[in-house]
A and B are shown apart, each in its own frame.
Chain A
Amino acid sequence: MNSKYTLLVCDGASCKTTHKANLAAGFKKVIAEKKLGEFVSVVKTGCFGICGQGPIVKVLPDDLLYVSVKQTDIEEIVEEHIKNGNVVKRLLYTDPFTQEPVEKQKGKKIYQKQFRIALRNCGLINPEDITEYIAVRGYEALASVLADKTPIEVVELMKKSKLRGRGGGGFPTGLKWEFTAKQPGNEKYVICNADEGDPGAFMDRSVLEGDPHSVLEAMAIAGYAIGASQGYIYVRAEYPLAIHRLNIAMEQAREYGFLGKNIFSSGFDFDIDIRLGAGAFVCGEETALIHSMEGQRGEPTKKPPFPSVSGFRKKPTSVNNVETFANIPAIVLNGADWFASIGTENSKGTKVFALAGKINNIGLVEVPMGTTLREIIYDIGGGMVNNKEFKAVQSGGPSGGVIPKEHLDTPIDYESLKQIGSMMGSGGLIVLDEDDDIVQLAKFYLDFTQDESCGKCTPCRIGTKRMYEILDRLTKLEGSPDDLDILEDLAVNIKNSALCGLGQSAPNPVLSTMEYFKDEYEAYAYRKVKHTYSIITDKCIGCTKCARVCPVECISGSVKVPHVIDESLCIACGACYTACPVNAIEKP
């Protein structure tokens, strides 16, 4: 026992709450008892990202992982490994592919739930220094397609990779490029859609701020493939840092000759300009985006014609999303087969999600398509805050829907989400727990869409407003059971007949919540929602604290006798709930 050991003990919120374990303290105690303090130090760490096997202990310098470590395993690990230098084999991390216990991690990866392609350089390189991007093989994808591939071959490569648009619709990128490439004429455009507008979504911003060059490089590759020499990035003005970094990146790329005339002496010219969006949600829709770029009102138009036929300035235009672009250099460098080997049958590669809500590890995650929601929420997200009961997850923002508990094990891809009434959308995931009110959630989204509707078509302009009004009535207990039928009719009609994708998907938050949580709607419609506080008689100790704080004096009862709230007078202020020392008050 010569070397000094370090034990990295998982102290993530997930492990702490789900296993109620304080392993670090346990180790310290045992180590102190065995008087091994000078040979080993215990360090608490954040989540390892394999919470399903938590809690985790990593031993340095031996570089191995113990998984599912319980309080009762501490003694054995300290005695065997630290004192005697023997590995505790039964607790070793098992490689999921070989099913072999892994004795030394070095050179071997722990199978992580997250796999980053689009975000591969975010946090690793300085986005304002092009040499750092070059150091991670930046612009080599562009150099290689210009040297080795014809534009048609680039399109074929994209088709083979089966990459699909990450902006929400999931249209195959290769096909989009092919349509645009096949159009006659020399004037074509590449547009990067960076008008990220879903509430709570920020994956595109992270890419632009952390790795702007990969987007520029991909746009140049797209330009080569479709025959365009000009690209535009339509980015919302609310992203000043992203714009700043894009400008620096473009300037540096021009300096190195990655943008401009005769790139890599290939004869190919390509340059990029920025167009700022003024903050309308609808401008994320490609036809509206193009109108906005042309100086018109940001309104969608009927498709066909698609932008690939008649887009910016009525010329063939390929509009692709930031995250889609961010994947492309990696696909070119690693090959279409590599990319197509990740994900599910029809949805290849990875997807970035913005994980938010009642979850421990809020953050930006990137997972292979086909990962289940359970893995995202419990393994990566570290589980529910305070171990509350999971209720649903809202995916796809205002265009998506809720996914309830019974679908937690659905592998996420474009089709599966659609099938359960939600949508991939741009990738927002908001986790709801038992305390969250589903109808209020639907109301929040409809409030958003009716305000952000461009107002062009009838169903979206007036229909979403009427839907919001009904939800507002319901939640104020002023609705009626008839309202539920009207709400559903409206939702179905808007979905069927609105002009653009945003309008057609605007009712999704209502349709999916009505499907899975109809009872909550009915409770509001029949006005069965309790909205007064009450006292749980069994728990009440008769301390009188609640009665003393009640501002409307509706709590009565004698000392040491359970109290009662007069529900007809209660104003639901919550003062009693806060005052009660024994949790004897029930919330509405």
Chain B
Amino acid sequence: MVNIKINGIRIQVPDHTTVLEAAKKVGVHIPTLCHLKLDDFGIVNKVSSCRVCVVEEIGKPSLIPSCSALVYEGMNIRTDSVKALNARRNNLELLLSNHPFDCLTCAKNLQCELQSLANELHITEIHAKGEKMFYPIDKSSNAIVKDPNKCVMCRRCETMCNEVQTVGVLSAINRGFGVVVAPAFNIDLADSSCTYCGQCVAVCPTAALIARSDIQKVWRALANERRHVVVQVAPAVRVAIGEMFGMAPGTISTGKVVTALRRLGFDAVFDTNFGADLTIIEEANELVHRIQHGGVLPMLTSCCPAWVKFFEHQFPDMLDIPSTCKSPQIMLGAIIKSYYLKNLDILPRRLKVVSIMPCVAKKAEGARPELSKDELNNVDYVLSTRELGYMIKEAGIDFANLEESEFDNLLGESTGAAAIFGTTGGVIEAATRTAYEMITGESLGNVDFKQLRGLEGIREATVKIGSLDLKIGIAHGLGNARKLLESIKAGTSHFHAIEIMACPGGCIGGGGQPYHHGNQEILKKRQDAIYAIDKSLPRRKSHENEMVLKLYDEYLGAPYGEKAHDLLHTCYTPGERI
């Protein structure tokens, strides 16, 4: 413990506390911008570049950044000296002097941390005006729009892309006033090895990195009477969307989402969780098949499109180990466009599938050419959780007070196993529940595999299934995934199955979710809600989903069979590292 003084207030704090944290303890607020710290997820952006949080250390000529400066015995800090206040205001003014003033039509209007800061410091005039950056906006990808002119060089995206995700696409380029975060040589994102995980979008304080908006395309489809527009909702959406309407983080709003989607005019509202249960059947069968027939092990999950793109680019020589299963949204899309379509009396191209996803990469996944049949994509439009929130607001729906309703049948039925797809460890837990019963032929009593849950970046567990010790690995965050893959490559670890989710925390922390603004408690509440949904459901094993069984019975035939392969499995393409 060390003794320090902040604004004359004495306080004792542990070693390695930052000045910012210490100030918070004595009720002193210091504005921040580039600062980002999610301890439980191992994420910290420590560049200290914005200089908005500088404070005066008595006796030192230069101001220090409170977000990264550590306390020491006898430290004497003034956060409210004129010198510090002037510097903060001046630095914020400088950032604003190089920012496009299109707040009214900006995607981050009222969600922008720079805007809030300008409000907080009550900036009404910019004294040193001058030239502004002028870079073209990168709209090359199907998922992320990059507007360098709104970049404040907080480097949070770079920390996510390089340190957390180890994708290594985003970094500062050029120098001086022209510095901006971009892929090497300022190439388009679409030409880079970007996975579209969207973690850069999730942490960007401004609208320099945003998800591509597909709202207008969906409105257009809904407005067209000749279109039959169906929608599906991913598991992690229902535990987060309430945040956009003033509801507490972790509020479960499944029924309200369904009602809202019907009111928006969708012709049918299905549940991606159905696709998740379907995925488990296929994946568990594939795993058992691989184990029993001496196939390649470990088998890696393939639900996460950012993870898929990551291994295509980073481990192109290991494309035989991921499961060939399509992701739940694509599986459901494929079923809608085949099984569901055959009962509709419309031209196939008039059936449109919209997905509501907590994700940015799902947008790019939807556009992948191999995820289509007869030149029609399995999924037509992918909206993020945020975009659905904007549509609901635009339509004037009072979401918080909406009555609840049920998904349409039969693609709306799901089990607790599907619900937990929304968080790290969930997919493998769901698969284990099914694999256990498949291999042992016994009924599984306690379905809670607590050893698979948690927030540690890499987790390992052994589950006893009959005579088999099923060795399971779990990683969330692509950096952790890389570590696991490298250990496999080096032959130092031996797993049967590995679950990987690209985003920290899994889909609950996806790039398409309402902005968490660096508050990790929000992510934890969402995770709790996911497990609460699982617990509340009568059926908690995917193979007990009667509608899924019916689908196999009526239409698909045997799991992991020929028709299932045609509709529900895919292949991978090696990529380059750029």
Interface, chain A (partner B; CB < 8 A): 280, 282, 297, 299, 301-302, 304, 450-459, 461-466, 469-470, 486, 489-490, 492-493, 495-499, 504
Contacts and interface: CB of A to CB of B under 8 A. Distances in A.
21 contacts: A282-B175, A301-B47, A455-B174, A456-B47, A456-B172, A457-B51, A458-B49, A458-B95, A459-B94, A461-B153, A462-B94, A466-B128, A469-B128, A489-B90, A493-B86, A493-B87, A496-B61, A496-B62, A497-B62, A497-B91, A499-B51
Given A496-B62, A497-B91, 4 more contacts: A297-B172, A302-B48, A302-B65, A499-B65
Contacts of B294: none
A320 B128 CA distance: 38
A458 B177 contact: no
A512 to B, nearest CB: 16
**Chain A interface secondary structure, helix, strand, loop or mixed?**
helix
A554 to B, nearest CB: 35
Contacts of A459: 51, 87, 90-91, 94
Interface string B148-160: 0000110000000
A498 B172 contact: no
B128 A486 contact: yes
> Sorted from nearest, which 4 A-B pairs have the closest CB atoms?
A455-B179, A466-B128, A497-B87, A462-B94
B68 A302 contact: yes
A309 B128 CA distance: 39
B177 A450 contact: yes
Contacts of B345: none
Nearest to B175: A455
Contacts of A452: 175-176
B246 interface: no
A304 B54 CA distance: 15
Contacts of B94: 458-459, 462-463, 466
A299 B48 CA distance: 12
Contact of A499 (B49, B86, B128, B131): B49
A422 to B, nearest CB: 16
Contacts of A301: 47-48
Given A458-B49, A462-B95, A499-B49, A453 B171 contact: no
Contact of A489 (B52, B54, B127, B174): B127
Contacts of A490: 90, 128
Given A302-B48, A456-B49, A462 B177 contact: yes
A496 B83 contact: yes
A20 to B, nearest CB: 48
Interface string B359-386: 0000000000000000000000000000
A16 B172 CA distance: 56
Contact of B51 (A297, A458, A489, A492): A458
A453 B177 CA distance: 8
B171 A297 contact: yes
A458 B153 contact: yes
Given A489-B127, A493-B86, A465 B177 contact: yes
Given A297-B172, A489-B90, A497-B51, A455 B178 contact: yes
Contacts of A496: 54, 61-63, 83, 86-87
Contacts of B70: 304
Nearest to A462: B94
B130 A465 contact: yes
B23 interface: no
B54 A497 contact: yes
Nearest to A473: B130
Given A457-B49, A496-B83, A504 B178 contact: no
Nearest to B174: A455
Nearest to B68: A302
Of A450, A456, A462, the most chain B CB neighbours within 10 A belong to: A462
B445 to A, nearest CB: 50
Contact of B128 (A451, A470, A498): A470
A450 B94 CA distance: 14
B98 interface: yes
Contacts of B127: 486, 489
Contacts of B304: none
Nearest to B33: A458
A411 B127 CA distance: 40
A458 B63 CA distance: 14
Of A280, A463, A493, A504, the most chain B CB neighbours within 10 A belong to: A493
B97 interface: yes
Contacts of A469: 128, 130-131
B177 A499 contact: no
Contacts of A454: 175-176, 179
B287 to A, nearest CB: 40
B353 to A, nearest CB: 43
B417 interface: no
Nearest to A297: B172
A259 to B, nearest CB: 35
A451 B175 contact: yes
B175 A280 contact: yes
Nearest to A485: B127
A280 B94 CA distance: 24
B43 to A, nearest CB: 18
A280 B176 CA distance: 11
B478 to A, nearest CB: 20
B220 to A, nearest CB: 41
Contacts of A492: 86
Contacts of A453: 175-177, 179
Contact of B52 (A451, A458, A498): A458
A451 B51 contact: no
Contacts of B177: 450, 453, 455, 461-462, 465
Interface in B188-207: none
A489 B171 CA distance: 31
B50 interface: yes
A324 to B, nearest CB: 23
